[in-house]
Amino acid sequence: MLAIRKLARGVANVAVEELPAPVAGPEEVVAEVDSAGICGTDLHIYLDEFETAPPVTIGHEFSGRIVEVGKSVRDWQPGERVTAGTYFSTCGHCRPCREGRPNLCPERQSIGSKRDGAFARFIVLPAKNLYRVPDEVDLESAALTEPLACTVHGILSVAKVQAGDNVAITGPGPIGLLALQLAKVAGATVAMVGTDVDHERLELAKELGADHTVDVTGSSNLQTLVQDLFHAEGADLVVECSGAGPAADTLLRLVRRGGRFCQMGLFGRPINWNQDLVCYKELTVTGTNASVASAWPRALKLMAEGRIQVRQLVTHRFSLTAWDQALKVAQMKQGVKILLKPTADF
Ligand SMILES: [Zn+2]
Ligand SMILES: [Zn+2]
C-alpha cells in the first residue's frame, strides 16, 4: 500500500512509500481509511517543529471501515464505520495517566507521529480506541471527529465557555471554526478574528454563526474595536487557534480585566508577547493539548445531532500521490480542511 511517511527528523524528509499492508495484533483491528484530514500538526511535522519517531506514517484525523479484527477483539466486526482516538499507547502509571489525563503522558505514542498513522490505505488501531460513526454522520465528516474532540476538550472542559460569555477567537481555520460553533452551542457571543488573508474563512465563520467577524490587519486601536463589538470593556474569554504569535498579542489586548485566555494553536517556536498584561489584567491563562476520551462521544453526538457543522469545513480532496500538492494548499491556508482519500479515484 502507499503511505505518506516522515523518513527522518529534520525539515521535510517526507515522501510517499510503498509498504506491506499491516496485520492486526490480538487486541487490534485494521481499518481501511476513507478520509484523512491534514492538520496543523502535520505541517509542524513537515517543518520538524513537532516530535516524531521516524520512519513513521503521518496523519491522525481519519475515518474508515474495519477490514480485519484481531483474535481477542470482541464487539467489533469487519465493515463497521469507525474513527479512533489517537493514543496508540500511554504508560498508564505516570501522574497524568493515573489522573485520567493521558493526553499529558510523557510516554504517549500517538498515531501519525510515533506510530503509523492514517495517510495510508490501511491503519492498525487498538480496538479500545475505536468509536462507531453514527448513521447520521458521513465518513468525510467523521474524519473531523479528532479536531472536534480536541476542541470539545479545549473549549468546554479547559476554557469552560459559559452562556453569556463574550468570546473572541483568533484563527478561522478548522479548529477556530469548530471552537466558534461550540462556543455558540454553549450560549456565548462570538467574534471571529482574522487578518487580510482570511477573508473567505471569515465569510464561512459568519455562515457558521459568528456574531462578529473582524479583520485586524492594520487596526491600531484594538481596545476600541472590541468595545464596539461586544458593548463591553473586552472579551470574557479569548481563544488563540491560529498558532501565529501576533494573534496571541492581539488577544491579550482584546480580553477584559479579570478575563480568561486559552491557547489552542501551536506556534512551533517561542513568541513575543506582552506578558505583563497577564499580571495587569489578572488573567486566567490555560493551554490545551489534544483530547481526552470523554470528548469523543460528545463530538460524535454533536455532529450526529447537527449542532456542529463540519461538512462546510471540507474544501479540498486529494489522492495520496498528490500529498505534496495537498500540503502546499494547507500551508498556504487556501482552504479549510483538506482531506486525503486513499481509496478514491481521482
Ligand atoms: Zn489534528
Ligand atoms: Zn503516562
Query: What torsion do the CA atoms of 27, 30, 33, 36 make, to the nearest 10 degrees?
Result: 40
- pLDDT, one tens digit per residue, over 160-205 is 999 999 999 999 999 999 999 999 999 999 999 999 999 999 999 9
Q: Is the pLDDT of residue 231 over 90?
A: no
Element containing residue 255 per DSSP (H, E): strand 255-263
Cα–Cα distance between 180 and 308 in angstroms, integer?
Answer: 10
Distances (CA, A) of 304 to 61, 118, 310: 18, 23, 11
Confidence category of residue 333, pLDDT binned at 50, 70, 90: confident
What percentage of the chain carries pLDDT values higher than 70? 100
Å from CA of 105 to ligand 2 middle: 4
Q: Which residues surround the ion ligand 2 when the cut-off is CB under 5 Å?
A: 90-91, 94, 97, 105
Average pLDDT over residues 6-12: 97
What does the pLDDT read at residue 344? 86
Å from CA of 337 to ligand 1 middle: 11
Question: Which ligand sits nearest to residue 337's alpha carbon?
Answer: 1
Q: Which CATH class is domain 2-144+310-340?
A: alpha beta
Cα–Cα distance between 297 and 291 in angstroms, integer?
Answer: 12
Confidence category of residue 228, pLDDT binned at 50, 70, 90: confident
Q: What single DSSP character describes residue 156?
A: I
Beta-bridged to residue 214, according to DSSP, are: 193
Å from CA of 331 to ligand 2 middle: 32
Neighbours of 317 (CB within 10 A): 17
Cell of 329: 494548499
Q: What single DSSP character describes residue 181?
A: H
Q: Is the pLDDT of residue 223 over 80?
A: no
The rounded mean pLDDT for the chain is: 95
Å from CA of 296 to ligand 1 middle: 13
- pLDDT, one tens digit per residue, over 115-126 is 999 999 999 999
Å from CA of 87 to ligand 2 middle: 11
Å from CA of 186 to ligand 1 middle: 23
Beta-bridged to residue 215, according to DSSP, are: 194
Q: Is the pLDDT of residue 331 over 80?
A: yes
Å from CA of 89 to ligand 2 middle: 9
Confidence category of residue 229, pLDDT binned at 50, 70, 90: confident
- pLDDT, one tens digit per residue, over 252-289 is 999 999 999 999 999 988 999 999 999 999 999 999 99
Average pLDDT over residues 204-213: 97
- pLDDT, one tens digit per residue, over 71-105 is 999 999 999 999 999 999 999 999 999 999 999 99
Average pLDDT over residues 308-323: 96
Question: Which ligand sits nearest to residue 91's alpha carbon?
Answer: 2
Å from CA of 107 to ligand 2 middle: 6
Q: Domain 149-287: give its CATH code.
A: 3.40.50.720
Cell of 215: 479583520
Residues of the chain with CATH 3.90.180.10: 2-144+310-340
Residues of the chain with CATH 3.40.50.720: 149-287
What does the pLDDT read at residue 225? 81
Question: Which ligand sits nearest to residue 86's alpha carbon?
Answer: 1
What does the pLDDT read at residue 219? 80
Q: Is the pLDDT of residue 227 over 90?
A: no
Q: Which residues contact 200 (CB under 8 A, 6 or more apart)?
A: none
Question: Which ligand sits nearest to residue 243's alpha carbon?
Answer: 1
Question: Which ligand sits nearest to residue 90's alpha carbon?
Answer: 2
